[in-house]
Amino acid sequence: MRKKDNLGELLKNPNNKLSKELLLGHELSDIPEFNTFIKFEPITKGLSNDKKYRVTANNGRNMLLRLTDIKEFDRKKAEYEKMERVYELGVITPKPYSFGLCNDGKTVYSLSEWLNGEDIESALPRLSETEQYNFGIKAGKLLRKIHTLPAPADAEPWDIRFRNKIQERVDLYNKHNLKSENGEKIIKYLYDKQKILINRPQTFWHGDFSVGNQMLMHDGEIGVIDFNYWIFGHGDPWWEFVIIPWGKEPSAHYLTGMINGYFDNKPPLDFFELLAYYYASDAISAACFAFLGLEPCEPEDGRKHMKNVMRWFDNMKNHVPTWYLTHF
């Protein structure tokens, strides 16, 4: 890598063909740790718009580097502070190292530990049903620990916030004439049952506690990555169980384990009632996906998810989803 001042001279010459590494070095050279970086590996997995790299330092330490436009500073600072709070709980999550500006103040960067492990999404197909269930229990206990962090004291009541979100989705649904038999049933259900949201507690959220962000560590423990999903940042903790990708079937054993681990094998009936409600809301979001800027998702995935939700909850008449293994 070249220092920034050397790159400045190179950039003045239009005939120079700079490598990506040199250009990257120009962008990063005002990061305090920059002189220790010896290797960059781009990371393309995930839905974030951040530029991500696995960075190796000259002491052999691997780190995750995230780069974001300065306009995202407040959001990225809040994300970094989320990581710090969760790490302090003793949760297995990347240790935050540093946060600030680079690229002459045009880019936000964060450096954190590289978490060695395999994402659960990749691991599940080779695990037995019992292994899936047992790892799900560990994940549920981890999520419960994250939820010990309180929401801000001045947080707007959850029922107001979530009803507003539902209304935004319904308005999109009607505006773009997305009407369907399942959609009309789900919207009626959401309106009829909205009192269920009143007086719900709010806690700190991970935000996207999906199998793609849960890590199977080499010692058999479960870790968590990617705190960059920032819609609310806090809310009803039970909302975090809405993690089945649109158009997909869940890993019944793993998700059953997550629920049982979270509740010490005694999930209350009102949990399932709220779970059904939140999946109904998720189904409307799936139907409107094309107008929400959500990627990647195909139109058929949204339609299929709505059908799946109706099937899992028996046309919204049964709160316990078909994939929950009551007697496993």
**E strand or H helix at 44:** none
What's this model's pTM, rounded to 2 decimal places?
Answer: 0.88
pLDDT for residue 290: 74
pLDDT for residue 23: 52
Query: Do 40 and 53 contact (CB within 8 A), yes or no?
Result: yes
Alpha carbons 319 and 322: distance in angstroms, whole number: 9
Q: Does domain 4-113 have CATH number 3.30.200.20?
A: yes
pLDDT for residue 127: 97
Query: Per-residue confidence of the chain (328 residues) as pLDDT tens digits?
Result: 444 444 444 334 444 444 445 556 678 889 999 989 988 898 887 667 889 999 999 999 999 999 999 999 998 998 899 899 999 999 999 999 999 999 999 999 999 999 999 999 999 999 999 999 999 999 999 999 999 999 999 999 999 999 999 999 999 999 988 889 999 999 999 999 999 999 999 999 998 999 999 999 999 999 999 887 655 689 999 999 999 988 899 999 999 999 999 999 999 999 999 999 999 999 999 988 877 765 555 667 888 999 999 999 999 999 999 999 999 8
Identify the residue whose tokens are 């037995």.
128
**DSSP state, 53?**
E
pLDDT for residue 16: 43
Query: Do 99 and 77 contact (CB within 8 A), yes or no?
Result: yes
* CATH number at 118-312: 3.90.1200.10
Phi, psi of 67 (to 5 degrees): -125, 135
Alpha carbons 20 and 132: distance in angstroms, whole number: 41
pLDDT for residue 230: 55
What residues form DSSP beta bridges with 204? 234
Domain spans, the chain? 4-113, 118-312
What is the β-pairing status of strands 118-119 and 107-113?
A: unpaired
Residues 6 or more apart whose CB falls under 8 angstroms from that of 30 comprise 4, 101, 102, 103, 104
Q: Backbone dihedral region of 173: left (phi > 0), alpha (psi from -120 to 50 degrees) or beta?
A: alpha
- What is the three-class DSSP state of 151? coil
Alpha helices in 247-293 (DSSP H): 252-262, 269-287
Tell me the C-alpha to C-alpha distance, in Å, between residue 139 and each of 87, 201, 255: 16, 21, 9
pLDDT for residue 7: 40
